[in-house]
Amino acid sequence: MISGGAAEKVSRSGKPAVVAHRGASGDLPEHTLAAYELALSQGADGLECDVRLTSDHQLVCIHDRTVERTSDGVGAVSEMSLAQLSELDFGSWHPAGTSASVLTLRDLLTLTLDWKRPVRLFIETKHPVRYGSLVEQTLLELLHEFGVGSPPSADHSRAVVISFSSAGVWRVRRQAPMLPTILLGDTARVLGGSAATAVGATGIGPSVATLRHYPDLVDRAAAAGRVTYCWTVDELADVQLCADLGVRWVATNHPAKVRDWLVTVD
C-alpha cells in the first residue's frame, strides 16, 4: 500500500492480489468463520469484511443494517446486543451452509493474524449508522489492542480500513496516519479524486462496472499517489481488465477461481 505518503509501486507486469469479499462467499455463507477459513485455504491474499456496532458497542461482521437476509432473526444490528445476535443462526440460509454464529471482528482478526502466512484484512465501516464516528473509534481501539493499529509503515500494515464514507476515512487518517485507507465509490467524487485527496485516502475503490467505463481511473489514481482496489470481480473478462490496468487489489466472491484465472492472464 502506501508508505510514508509515497505510492506503492505497481508493476504493469504484476498481477492483482486477491481479496476474499466477505470470505469465500460464492461457496459458503458470507461473513462466517467457515467462509473465511475456506478463503484462506484457497490462497486469498486478503480478506474483506463489513463491520457494524451492536447496541453494546461490539463490532460484528454483518453487511446489512438488519439481520433478516443472512440469519433466522429479525431486527436492526444496532438495536441488538452481541448476546442477542449470538442466539441467531447466520449460516443455514445459504444452500451450502450449516448453522453458524455471528462473527465478531475480534474473532476474524484473530484468524487473520494467526494464519500461517501474512494476510491483509480489509475492514469496511458502514455509514450512515446510528453510532456515527463511534464505529471508527471502536475499530481503532480494537486494532491497537491487537497491535496492528500503528504499523511501522503502511506497506507492512496487516489491516486496511475502507469505507464509502469520506468522513469515516478522514477520521481514521487523522487518528492513525500510517494505516492504509481506501475510499470506496463509483461516483465523480472518486473518479475525479477530489474526495480521496481531501481525506488523505491512500487508495480508491471503484466498482468493476465503473472501471469498465473509466479505464483511465487506475493511472489517474497512481499519478496522485494512490492504489486501486476494485470490487466485486467475479468474471474472467474483468480479471483480465484489472490485470491489464494495473489494479493492485481485486475483491471477489470466488477467490479460488480468480486465483486460477490470474495464472493464465497475461
C-beta neighbour count of 230 within 10 angstroms: 28
Write out the three cell numbers for 156.
507492512
Q: Would you give the DSSP letter of residue 98?
A: -
Q: Would you say how long the chain is, in residues?
A: 266
Helix (H, G, I), strand (E, B) or coil at 187: coil
Rg (CA), the chain: 17
Which residue is catalytic, options 21, 31, 94, 254? 21
Which residue is catalytic, options 31, 63, 144, 213? 63
CA pair distance 87, 73, nearest whole angstrom: 9
Our answer to whether residue 31 is catalytic in this structure is no
Our answer to whether residue 144 is catalytic in this structure is no
Write out the three cell numbers for 256.
479460488
CA distances from 222 to 8, 12, 104, 122 (A): 9, 12, 34, 20
Bridge partners for 184 per DSSP: 205
CA distances from 190 to 52, 122, 159, 164 (A): 24, 19, 22, 10
Residues belonging to the active site: 21, 63
